[in-house]
Amino acid sequence: MPAIAPISRKDLIYYLRLCGFEGPLPGKKHARMKKGDLNLRIPNPHQGSISKPLLLEILRQAGVSREDWEAL
């Protein structure tokens, strides 16, 4: 169960795949993940973790509720 806390890009991709997203796929400036018609931009690889506020914004754009995320 991933908590709403800083997370690595690798773990973010893993859990988004569990939510039904495909990818990461190449994009122009950022990679993206796809689920149906929804294209979700994900952060580029960098040192450090993805912050809690950025994770919450990604989940909002993905349509994944906090409860669904923590239930994975």
Total of domains in the chain: 1
pTM given for the model? 0.89
CATH number at residue 62: 3.30.920.30
In a domain, 1, yes or no: no
Average pLDDT, the chain: 92
Classify residue 44: in a domain, yes or no: yes
Q: Could you report the per-residue pLDDT of 42-70, keeping only the tens digit for each?
A: 998 888 899 999 999 999 999 999 999 99
Q: What is the DSSP letter of 6?
A: -
Q: Which domain holds residue 24?
A: 9-70
Question: In this structure, are residues 21 and 63 in contact, taking their beta carbons and an 8 Å threshold?
Answer: no
b/e map of 31-48 (b: 16 or more CB within 10 Å)?
A: bbbebeeeebebeeeeee
Q: Could you tell me the two tokens for 47?
A: 């040192």
Q: Would you say residue 39 lies in a domain?
A: yes
- Which residues touch 68 (CB under 8 Å, ≥6 apart)? 19
For residue 60, being part of any structural domain is answered with yes
Chain centroid offset of residue 3 CA: 13
Is residue 22 a part of any domain in this protein? yes
